[in-house]
Amino acid sequence: MTVEAREARQPYLLLSPAMVAVTLLLLVPLAFIVVYSFWLRTATGADQAGFFLDNWREALSDAFYRDILLNTLKIAAITTLVCAIMGYPAAYVIARSRGNKAVLLLLLMLPFWISYIIRTMSWINILGASGAINSALMWLGITDAPIQMLYNEASVILGLVHFLLPFMILNIYVSLDGIDTTLEDAACSLGATRWRTFLEVTLPLSLPGLAAGGLLAFVLGAGTYITPIVLGGPTDAMFANLVFEAIITQLNWPLGSALSLMLLAVLGALVLLYNHFLGMGQLMKGLG
Amino acid sequence: MGWHLLRGWTVLVYLFMFLPILVVVLLSFNASQFGSFPMTGLSFRWFIELAENEAILRAFRTSIVLGLLTSVISTTIGVLASLALVRYNVPARNAISTLLIAPILVPEVVLAVALLLFLNALSVNKSFGLLLAGHVIFTLPFVILVVQARLVGIRRDVEEAAMSLGASPVQTFFQVTLPLLAPAVFAGMLFAFTISFDDITGTLFWKPGGVETVPTQIFAMLRNSISPEINALGTVMIFLTAGLPLVGIAIARRLALKRGG
């Protein structure tokens, strides 16, 4: 073999383990559950191969699944909005601060390293019946009995915001940090007020980061399994909980496949839409 | 005026991110038998109980072995792929990149279900192997992103110089490229380990009965009752997963400084 031919083959050799892994452990399994979702779990517990629409009919027409899907999307949307409102000003301060920028950035990275389950359960210490807030209120004599603050939709959203806020801030920061500040100076020197400069120069230029953070927050929020169990009440199940229920508890794998694919379709459509308009580049910047 | 308001807001946002975590650490030293407020005094009793809890120690061992294996496999595969993507003119690079980061874009529950059911159809039951495969595919995209970002900064001409001075490609790789790659490899391994160590959703689907990792053990403890040991366990985890990367960053910095001169 010539040297050139070996050179040309090299990148494929290097890429092949990763490509094989992604193909065998992600693509083929996804294709497999597409097929599986048309099978039928019979009363005896065995799967009947074939082309049955029963699972899809159940997943798409049952009001129970539809309501939880809509509620999941609603929770994800509120979470994303709250993250954006809380995160944008913070990202702006980090991007424009001089002295303590490095410290603020390092602190921003810390939550990514702290276990998600611990960050989630930490709110029990704050909101629980004997948590920080109730203890303080009772000590101050404002209330005699603890106020129920946990195990409802609001505490689920709070936990999700706590989990996803660093993703949002980081993505907005990356975008704000890349803006050429002379553009802002130019707008100011041409007579624009600082607020107007922000609205017409800074904000539009930072929208890609806001969109990337928003996409991440929404997709990760809508796919959550743990938070509703730890911080939610019995009626606060989200869609991933249904999937787990179908697969692990009821062992109805064909139905579980259909439900998984439903979630994938909804969130995947968002990712594709994002990719179409903005491309994956911005998202990669925030993740890398 | 406006800037002060923004700074105040930012302080509040940071407090929101860190206060609950600080409360976990604070309560883990609580002497009270309920482990909640009010604090009755400082004590290490929950850490001692933790060290004597056989289930938790087992979970730690499982998590560490799983994390190490995941990080070695994932980083090896990831570094090779990153080299190809950064160093060569690969046709359809964008399509390949997107494919390789696809595991991040698929919701974790869906990834977990697909892998579980597919491998089950191949008669691979829930096992440590399945858990490992899952963690590898889940961490691979993060490794590739981190390693690629580091690789871009390494200059090629050093390798070309070695080659032109008569080093073989293999020699060049081991004596020039690999040492230059070390910080990237290190960062990838650390990242993969941390993600694997923290993973819970996929792990709950893949783990065999009776096997617990630290996060699933905490999850199981939470469902029973909020035992004060959980805060102590949380504190240990915080120091491990936040302290470890901090030390890692310091080492990587030092390595880079030494090489950069």
Q: What is the CATH number of the domain that holds B214?
A: 1.10.3720.10
Q: What is the mean pLDDT of residues A190-219?
A: 90
Domain covering A56-287, topology: MetI-like fold (1.10.3720)
- d(CA B198, CA B192) in angstroms, rounded, equals 10
Please tell me the predicted confidence (pLDDT) of residue B13. 97
Average pLDDT, chain B: 87
Residues in A closer than 8 angstroms to B17, CB to CB, are 107, 111, 162, 165-166
Q: Which two tokens stand for residue A105?
A: 């950035």
Kindly indicate the confidence band of residue B157, based on its pLDDT and cuts at 50, 70 and 90.
confident
Domain identity same for B175 and B241: yes
The Cα angle at residue A10 between residues A5 and A14, in degrees rounded to 5: 160
Which of A25, A130, A268 is closest, CB to CB, to B37? Answer: A130
Q: Which of B3, B79, B109 to mutate to test the interface with A (most CBs of A within 10 A)?
A: B109
Q: Where are the domains of chain A?
A: 56-287
Q: Which of B12, B37, B96, B98 to mutate to test the interface with A (most CBs of A within 10 A)?
A: B37
Residue A23 has pLDDT above 60, yes or no: yes
Q: Which residues contact B51 (CB under 8 A, 6 or more apart)?
A: B57
B48 belongs to a structural domain: no
The Cα angle at residue A241 between residues A240 and A243, in degrees rounded to 5: 65
Q: Which of A13, A122, A277 is nearest to B24 (CA)?
A: A122
Residue A44 has pLDDT above 60, yes or no: yes
Please tell me the predicted confidence (pLDDT) of residue A285. 67
Shortest Cα distance, chain A CAs vs residue B3, angstroms: 8
Residue B27 has pLDDT above 50, yes or no: yes
Which of B145, B194, B226 is closest, CB to CB, to A287? Answer: B145
CB atoms within 10 A of CB B261: 4
Domain identity same for B194 and B74: yes
Domain identity same for B25 and B136: no
B39 belongs to a structural domain: yes
Report yes or no: A65 and B153 within 8 Å, Cβ to Cβ: no
In terms of C-beta density within 10 A (0-12 exposed, 13-18 middle, 19 or more buried), how is residue A111 classed? buried
Q: For the whole model, what pTM was predicted?
A: 0.90
Residues in B closer than 8 angstroms to A114, CB to CB, are 21, 237-238, 241-242
Domain identity same for B74 and B93: yes
Domain identity same for B1 and B104: no
The Cα angle at residue A175 between residues A169 and A178, in degrees rounded to 5: 135
Residue A15 has pLDDT above 70, yes or no: yes
Question: Alpha-carbon torsion A196, A200, A206, A208, what sign?
Answer: positive
Report yes or no: A226 and B222 within 8 Å, Cβ to Cβ: no
Please tell me the predicted confidence (pLDDT) of residue B261. 44
B231 belongs to a structural domain: yes
- d(CA A30, CA A34) in angstroms, rounded, equals 6
- d(CA A175, CA A130) in angstroms, rounded, equals 42
Domain enclosing residue B236, as ranges: 53-260
> Domain total for chain B?
2
Shortest Cα distance, chain B CAs vs residue A12, angstroms: 7
Shortest Cα distance, chain B CAs vs residue A197, angstroms: 14
Shortest Cα distance, chain B CAs vs residue A114, angstroms: 6
Q: Which of A175, A275, A76 is nearest to B102 (CA)?
A: A275
Interface contact B114-A30, CB threshold 8 A: yes
Interface contact B37-A126, CB threshold 8 A: no
What percentage of chain A carries pLDDT values higher than 70?
Answer: 95
Domain identity same for B116 and B1: no
> Which chain A residue's Cα is nearest to B130?
A25
Domain identity same for B65 and B13: no
Interface contact B117-A257, CB threshold 8 A: yes
The Cα angle at residue A113 between residues A107 and A117, in degrees rounded to 5: 120
Q: Which of A114, A140, A157 to mutate to test the interface with B (most CBs of B within 10 A)?
A: A114
B171 belongs to a structural domain: yes
User: What pLDDT, in 10s, does the model give residues A72-125?
Assistant: 999 999 999 999 999 999 999 999 988 888 889 988 988 888 999 999 999 999
Q: Where are the beta strands (DSSP E) in chain A?
A: 40-41, 47-48
Residue A6 has pLDDT above 70, yes or no: no
> Which chain A residue's Cα is nearest to B82?
A15
> Which chain A residue's Cα is nearest to B11?
A90
Specify the pairing of strand A47-48 against strand A40-41. Answer: antiparallel
Domain identity same for B115 and B244: yes
Shortest Cα distance, chain A CAs vs residue B198, angstroms: 5
Interface contact A122-B200, CB threshold 8 A: no
Residue A1 has pLDDT above 60, yes or no: no
Strongest mean pLDDT among A43-57, B68-82, B175-189 = B68-82
Residues in B closer than 8 angstroms to A280, CB to CB, are 97-98, 101
Shortest Cα distance, chain A CAs vs residue B259, angstroms: 23
Report yes or no: A75 and A156 within 8 Å, Cβ to Cβ: yes
Q: Which residues contact B14 (CB under 8 A, 6 or more apart)?
A: A90, A104, A107
> Which chain B residue's Cα is nearest to A280?
B98
User: What pLDDT, in 10s, does the model give residues B204-238?
Assistant: 999 998 899 999 999 999 887 667 788 999 999 88
Which of B100, B118, B200 is closest, CB to CB, to A22? Answer: B100
Domain identity same for B69 and B10: no
Interface contact A165-B17, CB threshold 8 A: yes
> Which chain A residue's Cα is nearest to B202?
A225
Please tell me the predicted confidence (pLDDT) of residue B32. 77
> Which chain A residue's Cα is nearest to B143?
A288
Domain identity same for B128 and B26: no
Domain identity same for B110 and B199: yes
H-type helices in B88-156, by residue range? 93-105, 108-121, 128-151
Interface contact A10-B101, CB threshold 8 A: no
Residue A254 in 3-state DSSP? Answer: helix
Residue A131 phi, psi (nearest 5)? -80, 180
B85 φψ region: left (φ > 0), alpha (ψ -120 to 50), beta (else): alpha
Shortest Cα distance, chain A CAs vs residue B261, angstroms: 23
Residue B115 has pLDDT above 90, yes or no: yes
Kindly indicate the confidence band of residue B1, based on its pLDDT and cuts at 50, 70 and 90.
low
